[in-house]
Amino acid sequence: MALLPSSLWDRVRSCPKSQDPWIPPQKTLGTRYTHLYLLCELVSDDSRCRLSLDDRVLSSLVRDTISRVHGTFGAAACSIGFAVRYLNAYTGIVLLRCRKEFYQLVWSALPFITYLENKGHRYPCFFNTLHVGGTIRTCQKFLIQYNRRQLLILLQNCTDEGEREAIQKSVTRSCLLEEEEESSEEAAEAME
């Protein structure tokens, strides 16, 4: 006994997930476009590189790279839903949004970015993709966990006593926040 009419059920079941990034998978139900969020980290030797990060500079850089790597078709396909949603110049974390049908084109063009150009200065850098999420919230959750792990790694590697104290303070603060979050989630579940 099907809740949907059988013709519609066939369409839902046979939604193919195509392997080729150039052919988007067929949409069956719903008319809204879905987006994917790419969480990336800008890694560079030069410390001035991250500080000169600007969302317009980054947006034009990514669009130029996609146009070089995937041509006119790629540039047009990726630039429709493309936006830089979050940018942190101190840690170099960037959140990019793109359409779900063409996210592989954007993702595969990111390793081809080799330098950041600002006011005539060229800083060599590269992009590390940390996480691909369907919503900003999942990316934020991942980022919080990732930052906690990075703090612990920094604690191991730091040499200066003053730095060590500052990092230890941040680690304890983040652990307290984590416990608070968990207890508030449990309280919310218990109430329901």
Partner 1 sequence: MPAPAATYERVVYKNPSEHCYMKVCLEFQDCGVGLIAAQFKRLLISAVKDLFGEVDAALPLDILHYEEKTLSAISRICSSGLVKLWSSLTLLGSYKGKKCAFQVIQVSPFLLALSGNSRELVLD
16 is an interface residue for partner 1 by CB under 8 A: no
CB of 33 to partner 1, least distance (A): 23
70 is an interface residue for partner 1 by CB under 8 A: yes
Out of 59, 67, 118, 170, point to the residue binding partner 1 (CB under 8 A): 67
The H helix count followed by the E strand count for the chain is: 6, 5
164 is an interface residue for partner 1 by CB under 8 A: no
Angular region, 90: left φ>0, alpha ψ -120 to 50, beta rest = alpha
Please provide residue 91's backbone torsions phi and psi, each rounded to the nearest 5 degrees: -95, -10
In this structure, the number of other CB atoms found within 10 A of the CB of residue 41 comes to 19
20 is an interface residue for partner 1 by CB under 8 A: yes
86-125: which residues touch partner 1 (CB under 8 A)? Answer: 108
The candidate with the shortest Cα–Cα distance to 21, out of 83, 109, 97, is 109
Task: Report how far residue 53's alpha carbon sits from residue 84's, in angstroms, rounded to the nearest whole number.
Answer: 12
Type and span of the H or E element at 101: none
CB of 129 to partner 1, least distance (A): 17
Stretch that binds partner 1, among 61-69, 114-122, 151-159, 168-176 (CB under 8 A): 61-69
Out of 57, 69, 87, 132, point to the residue binding partner 1 (CB under 8 A): 69
**Closer to partner 1 by Cβ: residue 39 or 79:** 79
- Residues found near partner 1 in the complex (CB under 8 A): 20, 22, 67-74, 108
